[in-house]
Amino acid sequence: MVLFNSDYTEGAHPKIMELMMSSNMEQTGGYGMDAYCDKARALIRQQCGREDIDVQFLVGGTQTNLTVIAATLRPHQGVISADTGHINVHETGAVEATGHKVIALPSADGKLTAQQVLDCYHEHWNDATHEHIVQPGMVYISNPTEIGSIYHRSELQALAAACRECGLPLFMDGARLGYGLAAEDNDLDLPTITDCCDVFYIGGTKVGALFGEAVVIRNPAIAKDFRYSIKQRGGMLAKGRLLGIQFAALFEDGLYFDISRHAVKLAMKIREACESKGYSFVVPSTTNQQFPILPNALIEKLGEKWGYSFWGKIDEQHSAVRFCTSWATDEAAVEQLCSDIRSL
Amino acid sequence: MVLFNSDYTEGAHPKIMELMMSSNMEQTGGYGMDAYCDKARALIRQQCGREDIDVQFLVGGTQTNLTVIAATLRPHQGVISADTGHINVHETGAVEATGHKVIALPSADGKLTAQQVLDCYHEHWNDATHEHIVQPGMVYISNPTEIGSIYHRSELQALAAACRECGLPLFMDGARLGYGLAAEDNDLDLPTITDCCDVFYIGGTKVGALFGEAVVIRNPAIAKDFRYSIKQRGGMLAKGRLLGIQFAALFEDGLYFDISRHAVKLAMKIREACESKGYSFVVPSTTNQQFPILPNALIEKLGEKWGYSFWGKIDEQHSAVRFCTSWATDEAAVEQLCSDIRSL
Amino acid sequence: MVLFNSDYTEGAHPKIMELMMSSNMEQTGGYGMDAYCDKARALIRQQCGREDIDVQFLVGGTQTNLTVIAATLRPHQGVISADTGHINVHETGAVEATGHKVIALPSADGKLTAQQVLDCYHEHWNDATHEHIVQPGMVYISNPTEIGSIYHRSELQALAAACRECGLPLFMDGARLGYGLAAEDNDLDLPTITDCCDVFYIGGTKVGALFGEAVVIRNPAIAKDFRYSIKQRGGMLAKGRLLGIQFAALFEDGLYFDISRHAVKLAMKIREACESKGYSFVVPSTTNQQFPILPNALIEKLGEKWGYSFWGKIDEQHSAVRFCTSWATDEAAVEQLCSDIRSL
Amino acid sequence: MVLFNSDYTEGAHPKIMELMMSSNMEQTGGYGMDAYCDKARALIRQQCGREDIDVQFLVGGTQTNLTVIAATLRPHQGVISADTGHINVHETGAVEATGHKVIALPSADGKLTAQQVLDCYHEHWNDATHEHIVQPGMVYISNPTEIGSIYHRSELQALAAACRECGLPLFMDGARLGYGLAAEDNDLDLPTITDCCDVFYIGGTKVGALFGEAVVIRNPAIAKDFRYSIKQRGGMLAKGRLLGIQFAALFEDGLYFDISRHAVKLAMKIREACESKGYSFVVPSTTNQQFPILPNALIEKLGEKWGYSFWGKIDEQHSAVRFCTSWATDEAAVEQLCSDIRSL
């Protein structure tokens, strides 16, 4: 059985493992203040095209989301998110546990629009009783979203302009950022994202690393004392170099982008196999997650050979499932899966 | 320069790295529900001598402390700790950030006594205004303590009896537990600790692992829904197997105990070197951390060749420093350091 | 200009003011432990038909909501509420500030149904990733609701049965409870509410008192240490007797029910005036709040003589407004308002 | 039996009650936005000698402390306080419940010195591991302190200078401020306090009001959105005018200062009676709280006629007790108490 359930079923890319092995007995300082972290920071600054950004490394996505959000908001403020946002549905109330409401706006495709942000902001301030309502304090988006869609350059720039107009910091959860940048219809790049977002992160856990998220902070108000927040929320890794090692390996020779392209290429094969049979999708996705709507009988048959995530019942005869590819996915296995989708 | 600054200057024990490499391309489920975690759980249950305990894996110590404490207390309760306790001084207020006061009791040797707990509890309930005061809700200890001392069996059993009398769950921070169990004057073992504590953890980060703390929960009220808390606090590792792999390696053939003994043996050499010159210590320590009080001139000279942590000024001529050994410390380096202590 | 904007535009009922004056120079203990509070407790216990309930007095509604909810939930749990619930929209995230998510369910009439609670609960536990989702931990309802509707006996009993089936404490916000019990279609009474709810409160602020909410706690797990929570959240009034005095006056000779009936009777006149002209309502309300949808021109004209709250734009020509009556509303003013509604 | 247990045993000064009665049936807006609150604000601004300050009214002291502190600090910061500070010992961890540590510094007389603040600040920033330690974020003092002592002008100015040097907002809890300003050795006034403190409050609950604390905010960063915080923490009184009425009455003709002087004058009689018999005090107090150390036999005898608060055991034969006077204390009763102290 080959698992397509998620993009974190294997360990790390071999180049990461090699560097981790070869550096194992070196002695370094802790908490992300070592030469490996410095090197990774330098590489990321280079990719982002700016020297004046802070780069910090955390272990996981929920941890990163709650740490960034709690460090940015004042107590009476909430964070605007699509209702499908990971912080709204799949983090056990981690944001609320730091004292803040997630202001969830409806979204069919997992994305927020500039207009939604403007409306939400002005509706708040136009309400005579606004002091009795949570004040919008920042905006959270995911790219790619939790359902595989991506922001295009014009969308992100409009969103950033709206946020600036309202004085709302913009935060991008990039847990799967590599897969978004590798999408064929993508027109974003790291410098543009850096310019548009006050803070974002480059996901490692789901893109080739054992674990780790690289937080890029352009807004100095968020960067100030941010490491206190990492420590307080339990996200400061004692052997911080492990994060530096991984991101140094990922960004040394473009590995991060190469492996992301590999995953997306294979996801497109799965998509095409489904399309060739006329199956529709929960949302169209050009990234490494595909959410086809399949006949229940086919799902059951596929389940004998292939792992997938059950996503939701559609009608009596059909359900949606998720297939994920990753840096580690074997092309031959994908070919066989596609063949089964076509023939079963 | 060889660093004795801390016990987390290297990566992981080679046996861990081997298992991590050999399993790297295996596919497993996430979040600590895989076969490696199950194996590590079974090994730890065996070592603790009980089948009815819950074992969960988190990434780091601060994260574990805040997660366990917040999951145990009701909002109006605080956690009793020695004033030297890690949660009171070195976690950036992580416990307070979850809403709870650390009730710090004075301690010269880093330990709490049964009598202190009883006094604190009864003083609270005898106060006519106790509803205006934080209610003691649990007891936090570290073994070894932050300054290297250890609890003896009779002390821990008395403390556990006091806690039960007061209805206070007892929680042991075992970030360096291996080094405590390896001390020559230690008379504790894992089954006794399991019986005495409602919850404790076996530290991996400082004892041979890349990272990881294994939380052992005997009290079912704390175990209930504990995984929700791990997720909410950002401590649930997506590739959870990495924790299982490490603890499986550490507990397979007694590796955890072997490497702890190695570190303590070398620490005793450093201790003896200091004693031979008549130097005193902040506290007597039989574990892997030594806190000698040395002439400033000697400290400066040693600093040219050896890394240490500055601990505090004692008087105009003397300061305290910390030397740590670990599973990774080289015996020859220790011999040379000792020679320098004796001769410089 | 006479204000119908809210039910807290005047001070307190004269009988309360008299008792406050006559007792002014008496000396009593603080914090709700005096003879007046004891008397009010006894009267409320009598009205609720049970001796085994705890009664505590707080100052305001938001304070009471956040204190009860934070005292009841464990950290990973959230509170189910109608999306129109006061805690979800008009308390500046007070519940989230204590660390908990409000799980908002859609509601057209401001009420929750038993089926909604059952569905929400089972959907949570049937989700394979439920540890990644906030766990439903209690249910919050308002009676009357924020938009004037009330629960009928069969609805409340079904809801209570659903909550018990799921192990979810049921909490009723009774900020306007008197006006609900005085509705002509009401078939609830305090003993039934006490039996159905684990905890609820009898609102004073909006029903004749200067301020104050009487919390009735039937569930001993919530009552345990509840006064610590009142103190911690800033709700413990030093001169607690002021709360006892007010509730003693309200419940001595049925004053609470008399003044509620007065308000509802006048609200029905306003309702009838609107209906006589064919105006519709946001929701049908049999309590002291009426939300008619009126032509903008009429609203403007009325605004020259009468105060109301603007509730929302309906279409280009119409808007919804709120008229509130209270214990203090003058019947002659209502007659004149009704005449204006009919004639302007 | 006459009670000297506390300064909140009676209701409110008759002038407050009169104004509350005469305004009872007036209609006003809610939440502190009415003409009475505006009048009280104007009077307080006048007394403080500045127009550019924000004045907000809350109900009680714990509520005010937690609201101000939580609104001022960032999450990783703590509040410096004397270890005797009310927030540290008698508020059930209200500050910690908002996520912040109270950094308690030792104090024999209830006061903090400028040097203590400077030392605490520099010790933090000089620590190489300061990111692992709660960052000092503001300073909390009480005047008078919880044990009756007061700050002199030079002390407060030095403290304010130290706070400015360190960038730490200074917050004064003035729950008993009137009694401090009425002390014979007092050389502070409201304009000086306004200049020295970023935020402070003028206590009403213990100085003649039924309840209420007037918060004076000079620092615009704290004033910004402060009313959101009041609402979120449950401190926004619906019938907010009750606070305006009380402070308008207290500050109309210097009533606040008159009644404070009355209380202090009587407290000095109690002090002199104790001194005349050679009894010592926990601390010397020139305000309305006296803490004499008396023989247990005398305490018992006095207890037959007079109420007091037990403060603590001193030795086998002696204990400390607290006698409080207030605006409501009867001079004849004090004379009789003094006579008993002298003769029993």
Q: What ipTM describes this predicted complex?
A: 0.96
Q: How far is CA C39 from CA C17, C248, C256, C260, in A?
A: 17, 6, 15, 22
Which of B3, B64, B234 shows the shortest C-beta gap to A235? Answer: B234
Note the pLDDT of residue D344: 84
| Mean pLDDT value of segment A127-132 | 95
Looking at beta carbons, which residues of chain C come within 8 Å of A101?
Answer: 93, 96, 102
Q: Is D91 on the interface with B (CB under 8 A)?
A: yes
- What would the pLDDT profile of B150-206 be if each residue is shown by its tens digit? 999 999 999 999 999 999 999 999 999 999 999 999 999 999 999 999 999 999 999
Taking the C-alpha atoms of residue A62 and residue C133, their distance in angstroms, rounded to an integer, is 12
Looking at beta carbons, which residues of chain D come within 8 Å of C89?
Answer: none
Question: What do you get for the CA distance between the two ends of chain C, in Å?
Answer: 16
**Where residue A334 falls among pLDDT bands split at 50, 70, 90?**
very high
- What would the pLDDT profile of A277-309 be if each residue is shown by its tens digit? 999 999 999 999 999 999 999 999 999 999 999
Note the pLDDT of residue A344: 84
Rg for chain A, CA atoms, rounded: 20
Taking the C-alpha atoms of residue C76 and residue B82, their distance in angstroms, rounded to an integer, is 28
Closest chain D C-alpha to B77 CA, distance in angstroms: 8
Taking the C-alpha atoms of residue D72 and residue D229, their distance in angstroms, rounded to an integer, is 10
Q: How far is CA C33 from CA A267, A275, C36, C236, in A?
A: 68, 72, 8, 11
Closest residue, chain C, to D4 (C-alpha): C27
Q: What is the 8-class DSSP label of residue A292?
A: B
> Which subunits have 3 or more CB–CB pairs within 8 Å of chain C?
A, B, D
Rg for chain B, CA atoms, rounded: 20
Taking the C-alpha atoms of residue C107 and residue C105, their distance in angstroms, rounded to an integer, is 6
More confident residue, D266 or D344: D266
Q: Look up residue A312 and give its amino acid.
A: G
Residues in chain D: 344
Are β-strands A318-324 and A293-295 bridged in parallel, bridged antiparallel, or unpaired? antiparallel
CA-CA-CA-CA torsion sign (B3, B8, B10, B12): positive
Q: Alpha helix locations (H) across C253-330?
A: 255-276, 296-302
* 8 A C-beta contact, residue B296 and residue B319: yes
Looking at beta carbons, which residues of chain D come within 8 Å of B129?
Answer: 90
* Average pLDDT value for chain D: 97
Taking the C-alpha atoms of residue D51 and residue C154, their distance in angstroms, rounded to an integer, is 58
Contact C93 A101 (CB under 8 A): yes
Taking the C-alpha atoms of residue C244 and residue C37, their distance in angstroms, rounded to an integer, is 4
Q: Is D14 on the interface with C (CB under 8 A)?
A: yes
**Kind and range of the H or E element at D256?**
helix D255-276
- Which has the closest alpha carbon to B112: B63, B39, B163? B163
Q: How far is CA C231 from CA B11, D62, D242, in A?
A: 48, 8, 22
Contact A92 B14 (CB under 8 A): no
Contact B98 D97 (CB under 8 A): no
Interface of C with A in 119-178 (CB under 8 A): 128-129, 131-135
Closest residue, chain C, to D20 (C-alpha): C11
Which of B31, B135, B228 shows the shortest C-beta gap to C135? Answer: B228
Looking at beta carbons, which residues of chain C come within 8 Å of B135?
Answer: 225, 228
D198-221 burial, b at 16+ Cβ within 10 Å, e below that, comes to bbbbbbbbbbbbbbbbbbbbbbee
Looking at beta carbons, which residues of chain C come within 8 Å of D2?
Answer: 27
Tokens of B31: 């979040």
Tokens of A116: 């939604």
Q: Is C231 on the interface with A (CB under 8 A)?
A: no
Interface of B with C in 257-276 (CB under 8 A): none
Counting Cβ atoms within 10 Å, is residue B271 exposed (0-12), middle (13-18) or buried (19+)? buried
**Where residue A196 falls among pLDDT bands split at 50, 70, 90?**
very high
Q: What is the 8-class DSSP label of residue C83?
A: T
Which of D2, D25, D30 shows the shortest C-beta gap to C11? Answer: D25
Q: How far is CA A219 from CA A140, A169, B145, B149, B190, in A?
A: 15, 8, 40, 44, 48
* 8 A C-beta contact, residue D263 and residue D288: yes
Taking the C-alpha atoms of residue D22 and residue B246, their distance in angstroms, rounded to an integer, is 76
Give Cα B225 to chain centroid, integer Å: 24
Q: Is C100 on the interface with A (CB under 8 A)?
A: yes
Tokens of C17: 């003011």
- What would the pLDDT profile of D104-160 be if each residue is shown by its tens digit? 999 999 999 999 999 999 999 999 999 999 999 999 999 999 999 999 999 999 999
Taking the C-alpha atoms of residue D110 and residue D104, their distance in angstroms, rounded to an integer, is 11
Torsion (CA) C76, C81, C86, C88 in degrees, nearest 10: 50
Which of C99, C132, C236 shows the shortest C-beta gap to B99? Answer: C99
> Which subunits have 3 or more CB–CB pairs within 8 Å of chain B?
A, C, D
Taking the C-alpha atoms of residue B203 and residue B250, their distance in angstroms, rounded to an integer, is 11
Q: Which residues pair with C323 in a beta bridge?
A: C290
Contact B135 C228 (CB under 8 A): yes
A70-101 burial, b at 16+ Cβ within 10 Å, e below that, comes to bbbbbbbbbbbbbebbbbbbbbbbbbbbbbbb
Note the pLDDT of residue C94: 98
Taking the C-alpha atoms of residue C251 and residue C35, their distance in angstroms, rounded to an integer, is 15
**Where residue A228 falls among pLDDT bands split at 50, 70, 90?**
very high
Q: Look up residue D165 and give its amino acid.
A: E
Biggest alpha carbon distance in chain C?
Answer: 63
Tokens of B285: 């320590």
Q: How far is CA C63 from CA A135, C270, D237, in A?
A: 19, 32, 10
Contact C91 A132 (CB under 8 A): yes
CA-CA-CA-CA torsion sign (D3, D7, D12, D15): positive
**Where residue D91 falls among pLDDT bands split at 50, 70, 90?**
very high
Q: Look up residue C86 and give its amino acid.
A: H
- What would the pLDDT profile of B303-335 be if each residue is shown by its tens digit? 999 999 999 999 999 999 999 999 999 999 999
Are β-strands D54-58 and D213-217 bridged in parallel, bridged antiparallel, or unpaired? antiparallel
Q: What is the 8-class DSSP label of residue D292?
A: B
Tokens 């000779």, residue located: C253
**Kind and range of the H or E element at C251?**
helix C241-252
Tokens of A226: 């941010």
Contact C27 D11 (CB under 8 A): no
Note the pLDDT of residue A230: 98
Note the pLDDT of residue A160: 98
Q: Look up residue C307 and give its amino acid.
A: G
Give me the percent of chain B exceeding a pLDDT of 90. 100
Closest chain A C-alpha to C77 CA, distance in angstroms: 8
Note the pLDDT of residue B289: 97
Looking at beta carbons, which residues of chain A come within 8 Å of B91?
Answer: 231-232
Q: Is A75 on the interface with C (CB under 8 A)?
A: yes
Note the pLDDT of residue C241: 98
- Phi, psi angle pair for C59, to nearest 5°: -85, -45
CA-CA-CA-CA torsion sign (B258, B260, B263, B267): negative
Looking at beta carbons, which residues of chain B come within 8 Å of D132?
Answer: 90-92
Note the pLDDT of residue C318: 97
Contact D94 C210 (CB under 8 A): no
* Average pLDDT value for chain B: 97
Indicate the SS3 state at residue A50: coil
Closest residue, chain B, to A230 (C-alpha): B92
- Which has the closest alpha carbon to B35: B18, B45, B23, B53? B23
Rg for chain D, CA atoms, rounded: 20
Give Cα A257 to chain centroid, integer Å: 15
Note the pLDDT of residue A40: 98
Tokens of C44: 């409320």
Task: List CB contacts of C70: < 8 A, sequence separation 6 or more.
Answer: B75, C95, C98, C99, C100, C229, C233
Which of D131, D135, D228 shows the shortest C-beta gap to A131? Answer: D228
Task: List CB contacts of A123: < 8 A, sequence separation 6 or more.
Answer: none
Contact D133 B100 (CB under 8 A): no
Tokens of D330: 């009867």
Taking the C-alpha atoms of residue D173 and residue D29, their distance in angstroms, rounded to an integer, is 29
Which of B78, B91, B132 shows the shortest C-beta gap to D132? Answer: B91
Which of C17, C61, C238 shows the shortest C-beta gap to D211? Answer: C238
- Which has the closest alpha carbon to B211: D242, C212, A246, D64? A246
pLDDT by residue for chain C (344 residues), tens only, comes to: 999 999 999 999 999 999 999 999 999 999 999 999 999 999 999 999 999 999 999 999 999 999 999 999 999 999 999 999 999 999 999 999 999 999 999 999 999 999 999 999 999 999 999 999 999 999 999 999 999 999 999 999 999 999 999 999 999 999 999 999 999 999 999 999 999 999 999 999 999 999 999 999 999 999 999 999 999 999 999 999 999 999 999 999 999 999 999 999 999 999 999 999 999 999 999 999 999 999 999 999 999 999 999 999 999 999 999 999 999 999 999 999 999 999 98
Indicate the SS3 state at residue C96: helix
Best to test chain A binding among B64, B211, B243 (most A CBs inside 10 Å): B211
Looking at beta carbons, which residues of chain D come within 8 Å of B75?
Answer: 97
Torsion (CA) B296, B301, B303, B309 in degrees, nearest 10: -30
Centre a 10 Å sphere on the Cβ of residue D2 and count the other Cβ atoms it contains.
Answer: 16
- Phi, psi angle pair for C3, to nearest 5°: -95, 125
Looking at beta carbons, which residues of chain D come within 8 Å of C94?
Answer: 231-234
| pLDDT at B344 exceeding the cut of 90 | no
Strands annotated E in B228-337: 289-290, 293-295, 306-307, 309-313, 318-324
- What would the pLDDT profile of B218-229 be if each residue is shown by its tens digit? 999 999 999 999
Looking at beta carbons, which residues of chain D come within 8 Å of A76?
Answer: 71, 225, 228-229, 231-232
Angle of helix B14-22 relative to helix A14-22, nearest 10 degrees, comes to 170
Best to test chain B binding among A20, A92, A242 (most B CBs inside 10 Å): A92
